[in-house]
Amino acid sequence: MRKTTRTKKGFTIMEMLIVVAIIAVLAAILIPTFNGALHKAKAAADIANVRAYYAELQTEYLLTGKYRDEYTDNMTFSKTIVFSDGSEYDLQVGTYGILRITTALEQGKSGKEGYSITYECDKGDHTLTL
């Protein structure tokens, strides 16, 4: 009879534990970095949309000669931008507020007419005022 030798193939439990530990350490290092980059990207997208909204308000004023009536002198914060065509954009990591500055005649004193839009990130690390 012939004796067959069998070679052992595979990994030991210890080798598997070492690999899992290395992956856990790498994940612990990379996840906070990825979250920070993701937050910055979302804030940049929000800021771009707020700027587009501001440009739309100014264009609307140039075409019609008047400002939207829905805004008053009170700052109202919102997480949703509603464009004039009815489309909506939900801000991802911040809120914006619109302050309509009334004309000098409406106030009876010197002042300027226009919008002031302020964007503030939830973490407070990104702000924009137009």
* pLDDT value of residue 22: 96
88: phi then psi, degrees, rounded to nearest 5: -125, 150
Q: Please list, residue by residue across 13-49, b when 16 or more beta carbons sit within 10 angstroms of its beta carbon and e when fewer do.
A: eeeeeeeeeeeeeeeeeeeeeeeeeebeebbeebbeb
At residue 24 the predicted structure's pLDDT band, cuts being 50, 70 and 90, is very high
Q: Is residue 32 pLDDT above 60, yes or no? A: yes
Is residue 72 pLDDT above 60, yes or no? Answer: no
Q: Domains of the chain (ranges plus CATH)? A: 13-129 (3.30.700)
pTM of the model: 0.64
